Amino acid sequence: KIVIPADASDNVNLAASELNVFLTEAAGVTLPIVKDDSVTYDNSQKFISIGRTSLFEASGITVDDDELKTSGYILKTIDKTLYITGCNWPYIDYGNIYGVYGFLKEMIGLEIYSSDCYDYKSELELNMKKFDVKDIPDYDSRNFSSPRKDTLYSMRLRYRSGYSNKMGTVHTQFKFLPKEKYFEEHKDWYNSEGTQLRLINNEMRDAFVEAVKDYLRSNPDASLVYIGIEDTFEKFSDAD
């Protein structure tokens, strides 16, 4: 059985669904998905526990969410139960899904190539391995523009930002130092066309840092600030 918390998040529910999708395709096996309030741990039972289930809480396994962040996960076998868990942070607990994909890669050789193309070993016998894995990506946030609109494909590629960010992404410099507010008094902060910030201007840089600090003070839940040049084809002149 696949066991998930009674109050499972959307990401944990998706993780359980994805596990069954690929097990069914690769091995013809579809496991019942049950809530943890309907099962009792028994070391003779075979469970796959996803997320912070009551089974996990009673297992003695300890994890550090600050270490795992949004993308890290553990795979741990105790007796006949496999525990898959990422962080327990609401809405950004992607490690629970990534842990399932990591498990599927080990068990059936799952590889994702595109939204409609993936590969796995077929005609196999599933013999559960003993797992003791902690996987924490070097970069917790990974994104790419092409699959952004296909959320399931993005998830399978493990491309999710996983951060609270209200200022937007990529082209954000003018959101911190908007041209309509500063250009007339501080033309030297901008290039001659007023389309980019002059990053070599120390006064502008000091003002920019203060603007970022003000944003963070006003948005204490923000965990990432994108700082990117504006989107334009104009080049800087020699005078800039």
Do residues 30 and 20 lie in contact, with contact meaning Cβ atoms separated by under 8 Å? yes
Q: Quick one: pLDDT at residue 170?
A: 74
Please identify which residue in the block is written with the tokens 């502008």.
204
As a whole number of angstroms, the distance between CA 188 and CA 71 comes to 42
Please identify which residue in the block is written with the tokens 């076998």.
77
Question: Could you report the per-residue pLDDT of 89-134, keeping only the tens digit for each?
Answer: 888 899 999 999 999 999 999 999 988 899 998 777 778 889 999 9
Q: How many other C-beta atoms are found inside a 10 Å radius of the C-beta of residue 223?
A: 18
Residue 153's identity, in one-letter code, is Y
For residue 43, report the phi and psi dihedrals to the nearest 5 degrees.
-65, -5
Greater model confidence, 94 or 43: 94
Whole-number average pLDDT of the chain: 88
| Residue 235 pLDDT grade (very low, low, confident, very high; cuts 50, 70, 90) | low
| Residue 140 pLDDT grade (very low, low, confident, very high; cuts 50, 70, 90) | confident
Q: Quick one: pLDDT at residue 162?
A: 46
